Amino acid sequence: MLKHERSWLVRWERFLNLRGALAVALLPPVLAGLFVLAVETHGLVRYDPAYFTPLYAERYDTPGSVALALERALQTGGAALLAELQGLRRPATFKTGSSIIFIMLLDSDGRYFNYLYFDIDTYKRYTHYIEQVGDRWVVTPMDAYYYFHSGRWLGVFLPVALVWWLVEAVTILAVWLYRSSARFRARLWRGEGG
């Protein structure tokens, strides 16, 4: 075996022990923790306090009032009204057009009310999510905040984490088999030579 190949193996040998395997196994939970920390930290400054006065709380006191106002905003393309409905410091943009109409309350999962809107020209459906923040209801865009608080991020994180741990388990098994066979071969050669 060449010196270059041996040094490469020595470097990888350090990672292929129990401590290295545990460090690699902890990567998905650490990344999930960083995601949660980032979303919650951003949540502290997500909303513009100017949109959370008693006037707005009275105007948008139910999910239905926000859903109907959102229909007007989507039809007119009013950026100011869309910003008001979201209450965000940096409002998201939505598909707008005069042919978009409010259809129905699609679903409610406790935190979010999901409303269906339909573009009668293109036959495209749009779902918008409404949640209560403080004393009023707001439209929530599909961003990291929504994915975290709705629990949808787990639909991506858990399969990726499981695949990560499965690949790690297969790698550990392969390394164990390699090392066991190397020890067996070494014993076999020593036994024949002596």
Domain ranges of the chain: 3-40+154-193, 46-150
100, 57 contact by CB (below 8 A): no
pLDDT the model gives residue 50: 96
One-letter amino acid for residue 67 of the chain: A
pLDDT the model gives residue 8: 54
pLDDT the model gives residue 190: 79
Paired tokens of 154:
């787990």
Helix (H) or strand (E) holding 39: helix 27-44
β-strand 124-133 against 112-119: which pairing, if any?
antiparallel
Does residue 17 register a pLDDT over 80? no
Does residue 28 register a pLDDT over 80? yes
β-strand 100-108 against 124-133: which pairing, if any?
unpaired
Residues in the chain: 194
pLDDT the model gives residue 177: 85
Range with the poorest average pLDDT among 43-47, 102-106, 190-194: 190-194
Q: How confident is the model at residue 40 (pLDDT cuts 50, 70, 90)?
A: very high
How far is 68 from 85, CA to CA, in rounded Å? 11
Question: How far, rounded to the nearest angstrom, does the alpha carbon of residue 83 sit from its chain's CA centroid?
Answer: 24
pLDDT the model gives residue 76: 94
Q: What mean pLDDT is predicted for residues 45-54?
A: 96
How far is 169 from 130, CA to CA, in rounded Å? 42
Q: How confident is the model at residue 179 (pLDDT cuts 50, 70, 90)?
A: confident
Give the predicted TM-score (pTM) of the model: 0.77
Helix (H) or strand (E) holding 184: helix 154-193
DSSP single-letter state for residue 48: -
Bridge partners (DSSP) of residue 116 are 104, 127
Q: What mean pLDDT is predicted for residues 30-37?
A: 96
pLDDT the model gives residue 165: 93
Does residue 86 register a pLDDT over 90? yes
